[in-house]
Structure 1
């Protein structure tokens, strides 16, 4: 896939690399333009993505003299990226980027490190290495010291060390030089590189490639759209901070949902809701390792709550306080600030999170493949979460769209509370606890009757529909989830009528709004990608499968060249907006592919 060289503003044509500890985004010219240390929610030492006109600061780029084009692709079934840069005289280099990940000494080796290998492949290429990490959210370029074969970058309370067999003086002075042999760069912890750099780096790449290809080999992919599903699955795994099991909503902060909208949020945290959808999608592919790690994270969150309120989101380390501030030294994506650090949503009341803890956790009681099966102690802890769902299902909250200035009894939150009670009844029955089964089933039935009474408008005929909240008659796209949660059958007249009204109110051609009413920042200007995938699922389950396949194919055409999606999409121009890569959107691709694909039996 070849692109002409561009000098325009930042775009979301980005290629994630990572190892479930370190992650980075590489642009079309092989520049690392986003990467945080020591974790995804840390200081962005590579921040040129949000650095406005200062594109030469907060970046690591190999500039080919006379460059006219570039092409990129991942090594098959890995996040290891190859970028080819070609000059006007025909000379060319390939840059292989990856973050090491493989088993070593009985543990997973996943350092806070990026490896880059530059290979001359045609002519006599000359390159300049531009490596300028920053510190304190773009406040200043990192200081540096150097030795014979390394450079230390002082990026805060810690340092990064670049070990290389390239001439260190050329890198320090940013001089152009001819590259005549494979040249290796290891940017990682500030400690001497042990062993022969060339041999060790190549071994790291081979072992990392082998790890990912074996991981993909264990996925239960659908027959159709396998490449698309595999790329999404790998990227979702990269969004897990494996040390704790947390799953972040996206790798970035403050990419606007729409141009100049100031809907710029920091998504580098673990939302209970987003994580639920992520593990649900990966479970359908059989990627149980992500679920197992996440369940460990959830158990710590439940313990920390001590039977009380559970927040909508936490840091990847389980920290509860995520005070929201501004990175004043970063201009923002295409200069569209503000750049936010932290997220005030942690203070919000969102009652759907109780269901989103129960639903993935109950798998631990039934799935014999898991290394650690849930037991009665886990059930007791989960019942505490269920008690909160039961007590709060009819209380106002900010809802899944996280309204900052109003609260209502949101239907989605109530239905999630119903799901928590319903699934707890299933577990109690499995454990032989008949009295607890009856209790939780009775509570589930009570919530369901309340939703059917208070979240319905009309008499079931033309115009009747479920409402977004008990107090209103407006619609939002989360009502499409009533069938996914098994709250109602897709052929039920109430859902059929609701679906009809949802399409009239929120569908914009091939795309879906989350809601159309004004919120804290005015009317939404872009479609919410996961809602479009919910629309596709509802179409497929409503005997409109041909239309669903058409819309799914249309959504796939909006992916970046790396095969991914952000959170939002301009339904008129087709341009992607919002944080990237967005786990919600990748979940949509996986779920719809599984629902719409032809059966493997058709080729047997």
Structure 2
């Protein structure tokens, strides 16, 4: 395990912290421009650092307080120790940093607006600082609770003892922390206690497991921390442009609600028994359904449920480890992805299967009907696939299977709710799709399922066929496919590429979600030893705080791509629950 960034969230926004330095903090929301952007540019990104004033010190602890998203960092120098508790206060756009120290601490705070582009005006306040955006009324205020000595406009020394630094964003500083309204905002120590109680409470109703408990609960906290509480939408990751390949250009903005990723996350929460939050996600997705055309007009939406902004390049930032370009927005919203309706329908079906909440499902029958009718009409079309290759449309096997999933689950729900005619009609089309996949997605000549009709290659998405009960894991056709995937795409035991290459060239690093698919296949095959081996390797290759990125470097275990990523954490939750059930 390696030390990397730590993830904080309050269901409004998020922060990434490393070695006492806040290096990513979008304000006021997950998808806003960042105030601290050092993760994407060492020189001009901006950061908020607290560290011992002594030049020589060690970090002897950097981890979460129990099962929460509150971070505890402990420094040690020759003169003593210092402890910092970092958290994002509930319902507020800001961060509170509480310290207790035997030594003086050096604070360096350099915020910039609009991803490092705009230098703030600095105003000194009686107990802190105000950084105002010269282009608007917005700003951030720094309230210092404790004895301190200013060094210059953005640096000061905290004298040993106890205290806090309270950073709060205001869209209009006339109503901020130092305004007449300031008394309504959280008191730091009370806010800390409330945050600890809140995060620990979120896991109280989770299904208990006896295996891999730390990874299980941390993964659940990541998923819960990626939910935008005002809407119920869950973002794919809290970051943008962390590169899949260092020095490469596979750098994307993931701070949006993907139908597929969100559905998969809802499934994980359902398996873990957290039905209320799963239903919040499903309700957000249901609100996006268009009953008169393609059910989901876009494969992704903003956290508020609108279409994402156009993709653009922030050419003033050099990128993480000089991996240019830095992008905000995501052009994938223009793609027509035909598999997403199946992902949603499977999550809804799993919710009903677990909760038997027929009243809720009846209330959104219109969405089920819309998706089924759209899928009936469109399943024969080409489309992009779940890997979102740009400018590439084919009859992807996985996509066709998800068309089958959409109608199969819709038919099952219709039968449960008493819609007999619809149930029969939809299962009839589902069987037509199934036959088409077996005739065209499976090659008799090659002996395995292919990535798309007429292809001779495979992709790791084919591992999901038995996970959705399209085919039995022990069916000879799937076994040959499984064997081909491991032969062509496994680059280290348990770590697989999602595919060999795409429109941007060769894939380099394993896709972490795929390891959880592989493990779930092993469980279905009864190969429990292999399943455990992959889970343990994935956990051992996560960060020291059990966080996973979209990819990882198979040689060093360093995270690659946006971080932390919902996909692998959702996959890990499902894997652990399924293995636990198998072992009982």
TM range (shorter): over 0.9
Is it true that 1:379 corresponds to 2:370 in the alignment? no
Structure 1 unaligned spans of 5+: 2-10, 102-109
Cα pair 1:12 1:580 within 8 Å, conserved: no
Alignment of 1:526-537 (within 5 A): 526-537=509-520
3-state secondary structure, aligned to 1:254: coil
Deviation at 1:330, TM superposition (A): 1.2
Aligned to 1:346: 333
Aligned to 1:320: 307
Distance in 2 (alpha carbons) for counterparts of 1:470 and 1:339: 35
Deviation at 1:368, TM superposition (A): 4.3
Is it true that 1:162 corresponds to 2:142 in the alignment? yes
Deviation at 1:68, TM superposition (A): 2.1
Among 164, 181, 184, the residue aligned to 2:164: 184
Distance in 2 (alpha carbons) for counterparts of 1:182 and 1:195: 22
Deviation at 1:75, TM superposition (A): 0.8
Aligned to 1:7: none
Distance in 1 (alpha carbons) for counterparts of 2:293 and 2:285: 13
Aligned to 1:96: 85
Distance in 2 (alpha carbons) for counterparts of 1:73 and 1:417: 43
Cα pair 2:291 2:370 within 8 Å, conserved: no
Deviations 1:127-176 (A, max 9, x none): 22111111112113322223212422224642222222245761753555
Among 117, 121, 139, the residue aligned to 2:117: 139
**Structure 1 residues 595 and 171: alpha-carbon distance in aligned structure 2, compared to 1, 3 A threshold:** farther
Is it true that 1:113 corresponds to 2:101 in the alignment? no
Aligned to 1:63: 51
Is it true that 1:491 corresponds to 2:479 in the alignment? no
TM-score by length of 2: 0.93
Is it true that 1:422 corresponds to 2:403 in the alignment? no
Distance in 2 (alpha carbons) for counterparts of 1:171 and 1:135: 23
Is it true that 1:453 corresponds to 2:439 in the alignment? yes
Aligned to 2:265: 278
Cα pair 1:511 1:527 within 8 Å, conserved: no
Deviations 1:527-582 (A, max 9, x none): 11111221122122212211221121111111111211101122233332111001
Distance in 2 (alpha carbons) for counterparts of 1:306 and 1:392: 10
Structure 2 unaligned spans of 5+: 171-175
Deviation at 1:185, TM superposition (A): 1.6
Cα pair 1:272 1:353 within 8 Å, conserved: yes
Cα pair 1:150 1:168 within 8 Å, conserved: no
Alignment of 1:144-293 (within 5 A): 144-155=122-133, 157=136, 158-166=138-146, 170=150, 173-175=153-155, 177=157, 179-190=159-170, 191-192=176-177, 200-293=187-280
Q: How many residues align?
A: 573
3-state secondary structure, aligned to 1:182: strand
Deviation at 1:369, TM superposition (A): 7.6
TM-score by length of 1: 0.90
Aligned to 2:389: 403
Distance in 1 (alpha carbons) for counterparts of 2:105 and 2:356: 50
Distance in 2 (alpha carbons) for counterparts of 1:373 and 1:185: 48
Cα pair 2:256 2:301 within 8 Å, conserved: yes
Distance in 2 (alpha carbons) for counterparts of 1:175 and 1:38: 24
The range that moved more, 410-419 or 317-326, is: 317-326
Distance in 1 (alpha carbons) for counterparts of 2:199 and 2:295: 39
Deviation at 1:295, TM superposition (A): 2.2
Is it true that 1:30 corresponds to 2:20 in the alignment? yes
Distance in 2 (alpha carbons) for counterparts of 1:355 and 1:12: 37
